[in-house]
């Protein structure tokens, strides 16, 4: 096949492809065209192995390498100047910025939600430092790999070489694996930099944690993410070589949807651009495409992590503060994130006794009924039953008298000696026990006129101790009056 014939064949094929795509042209189109053209070249023996085919193969390989990297990876900041957010740590004159710029890095842990720059900061340190930088993942590595890296670092220390070890997802290491780092951190063989989304107080070995400075990274603000999205559209590492059209309102919608997660925001933008409407060489992100990309937010939630306890704490304290709106919001956050409704129901049952108690005895009935409803019908139907229970708890009169009564009694039960049960209220199922005085003087209240007796029911050392101190909230004031009546009656009776 002659070169002219081959060229015509390629352009004819390209024309078919362009017409098939409605004359839209974007990076995906270009890759398809290159693929078709290279297929034709392979069929031509004259061009097999020639410089023309080699050049085309290189272009295809280059295009594939670019497209194979997610947008977030292509746009990963290479310097502090490109870094977005964390001004409280990286602003001018701030401690972490000084540490990085002076290459005076010590062992530290970056703690924060996903997509806020923990790994990126480690990469920036790797570029700035003169030390040996080792990237280590707790997801793919085990104790064998740890020992190998530690031996390498120790050998480097002997020759005066400093080693910085970055451990991503450090919370995934168990205690034994984390212990393997400790002696090397202690003697300076390595400078450990860890990244975690979980609270280091719970997930990182205490001895290791005490040797590291913890830097808390915050979720990015909406305006910071919007600026990052504009950069992605204009930067050549992103979509700068394409003519992408998007409004500020759309980028703000993506930013709000991302919930402070830069990686999530860039992934959403990438999806929107790749599915945008291509017309006359221009890619437009339409509202319809964007709605599909952000139809459901992936809420930050871990059923065993810190956020799990943060949210249930928020729900509990909102109900205690008699704020039904906040309580319903935190309930929705948990349920829509996939929390087990039975777990929430159990917490509401606990709240009914701990924070409402006898101020509204029906609160416990409502909480148990909500639990049964969750058990019978599950989500999403049981969400309304939990809402009913949560609102009831929020509006009910509050009393923690029962909770305080038990805590006070528990303190005595744990710290006091194991006091013997008074003989008068001991059970006497055998003749020997009766002969020993078990149950002597016991009075069956139902047989008495006032249904009351003056028997001593507490041990001698706790005589007169009061645990239940009722309030005057709601119906509990009735219980308080009744308790006062009982105490007055007992005072009027001669001691037994």
Where do the domains of the chain lie, and which CATH numbers do they carry?
3-69 (no CATH), 101-216 (3.40.50.300), 239-293 (no CATH), 306-398 (1.20.272.10), 418-492 (1.10.3710.10)
Q: What is the pLDDT of residue 52?
A: 45
Q: What is the pLDDT of residue 296?
A: 59
Partner residues linked to 135 by β-bridges:
166
Q: What is the pLDDT of residue 42?
A: 52
Q: What is the pLDDT of residue 31?
A: 52
Partner residues linked to 164 by β-bridges:
133, 191
Specify the pTM.
0.58
Three-point CA angle 474, 479, 480, nearest 5°: 90
CB count within 10 Å of CB 46 equals: 12
Q: Where are the beta strands (DSSP E) in 240-348?
A: 243-245, 277-279, 282-284
Partner residues linked to 163 by β-bridges:
132, 190
Digitized pLDDT (tens) for each residue of the chain, 496 residues in all: 444 444 444 444 444 444 434 444 444 455 555 555 555 555 544 444 444 444 444 444 444 444 568 888 888 998 898 899 999 999 898 999 999 988 888 899 999 989 999 989 988 888 888 778 888 777 777 777 777 888 888 887 777 778 888 888 888 888 888 888 888 888 878 888 999 988 888 888 888 888 899 999 998 998 999 999 999 999 888 888 888 888 888 898 888 888 889 999 999 999 888 888 888 888 888 888 888 888 655 555 555 667 788 899 999 999 999 999 999 999 999 898 888 899 999 999 999 999 999 999 999 999 999 999 999 898 889 999 999 999 999 999 999 999 999 999 999 888 877 788 888 888 888 888 887 888 888 888 898 888 888 888 898 888 888 999 999 999 999 999 999 999 998 888 876 6
CB count within 10 Å of CB 79 equals: 10
Three-point CA angle 334, 340, 345, nearest 5°: 85
Is 171:197 a contact under the CB 8 Å cutoff? yes
CB count within 10 Å of CB 163 equals: 22
Strands 108-111 and 190-196: parallel
Residue carrying the six token digits 């065993």: 304
Nearest Cα neighbor of 128 from 95, 164, 176, 86 is 164
Q: What is the pLDDT of residue 206?
A: 87
Q: Per residue in 293-313, is it b (16+ CB within 10 Å) or e — as a string?
A: bbeeeeebbeeebbbbeebbe
Partner residues linked to 111 by β-bridges:
196, 216
Is 455:442 a contact under the CB 8 Å cutoff? yes
Residue carrying the six token digits 């199922």: 429
Contacts of 88 (CB under 8 A, 6+ apart): 94, 218
Q: What is the pLDDT of residue 17?
A: 43
Q: What is the pLDDT of residue 224?
A: 92
Strands 277-279 and 190-196: unpaired
Q: Per residue in 338-362, is it b (16+ CB within 10 Å) or e — as a string?
A: ebebeebbebbbebbbbbbbbbbee
């Amino acid at each position: 096949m002659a070169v002219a014939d081959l060229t015509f064949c390629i352009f004819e094929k390209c024309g078919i492809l362009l017409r098939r795509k409605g004359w839209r042209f974007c990076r995906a189109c270009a890759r398809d065209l290159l693929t078709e053209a290279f297929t034709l070249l392979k069929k031509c023996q004259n061009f097999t192995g020639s410089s023309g085919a080699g050049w085309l193969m290189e272009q295809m390989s280059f295009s594939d390498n670019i497209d194979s990297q997610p947008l977030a990876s292509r746009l990963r900041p290479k310097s502090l100047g490109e870094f977005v957010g964390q001004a409280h740590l990286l602003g001018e004159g701030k401690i972490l910025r000084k540490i990085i710029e002076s290459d005076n890095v010590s062992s530290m842990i970056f703690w924060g939600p996903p997509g806020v720059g923990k790994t990126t900061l480690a990469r920036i340190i790797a570029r700035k430092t003169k030390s040996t930088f080792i990237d280590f993942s707790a997801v793919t590595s085990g104790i064998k790999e740890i020992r190998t890296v530690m031996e390498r670092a120790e050998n480097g220390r002997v020759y005066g070489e400093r080693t910085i070890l970055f451990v991503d997802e450090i919370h995934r290491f168990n205690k034994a694996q984390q212990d393997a780092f400790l002696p090397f951190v202690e003697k300076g063989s390595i400078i450990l930099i860890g990244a975690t989304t979980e609270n280091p107080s719970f997930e990182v070995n205490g001895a290791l944690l005490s040797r590291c400075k913890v830097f808390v990274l915050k979720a990015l603000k909406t305006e910071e993410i919007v600026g990052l999205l504009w950069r992605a559209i204009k930067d050549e590492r992103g979509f700068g070589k394409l003519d992408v059209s998007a409004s500020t309102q759309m980028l703000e919608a993506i930013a709000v949807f991302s919930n402070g997660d830069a990686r999530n925001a860039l992934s959403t933008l990438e999806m929107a651009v790749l599915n945008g409407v291509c017309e006359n060489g221009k890619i437009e992100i339409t509202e319809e495409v964007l709605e599909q990309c952000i139809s459901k937010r992936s809420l930050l939630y871990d059923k065993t992590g810190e956020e799990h306890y943060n949210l249930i704490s928020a729900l509990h304290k909102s109900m205690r503060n008699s704020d039904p709106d906040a309580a319903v919001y935190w309930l929705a956050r948990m349920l829509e994130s996939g929390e087990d409704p039975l777990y929430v129901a159990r917490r509401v049952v606990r709240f009914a006794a701990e924070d409402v108690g006898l101020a509204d005895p029906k609160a416990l009935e409502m909480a148990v009924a909500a639990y049964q409803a969750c058990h019978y019908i599950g989500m999403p139907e049981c969400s309304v039953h939990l809402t009913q229970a949560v609102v009831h708890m929020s509006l009910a009169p509050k009393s923690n008298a029962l909770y305080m009564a038990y805590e006070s009694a528990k303190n005595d039960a744990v710290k006091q000696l194991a006091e013997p049960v008074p003989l008068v209220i001991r059970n006497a199922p055998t003749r020997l026990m009766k002969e020993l005085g078990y149950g002597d003087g016991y009075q069956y209240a139902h047989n008495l006129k006032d249904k009351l007796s003056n028997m001593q029911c507490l041990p001698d050392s706790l005589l007169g101790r009061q645990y239940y101190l009722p309030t005057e909230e709601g119906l509990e004031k009735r219980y308080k009056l009744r308790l006062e009546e009982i105490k007055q009656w007992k005072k009027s009776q001669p001691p037994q």
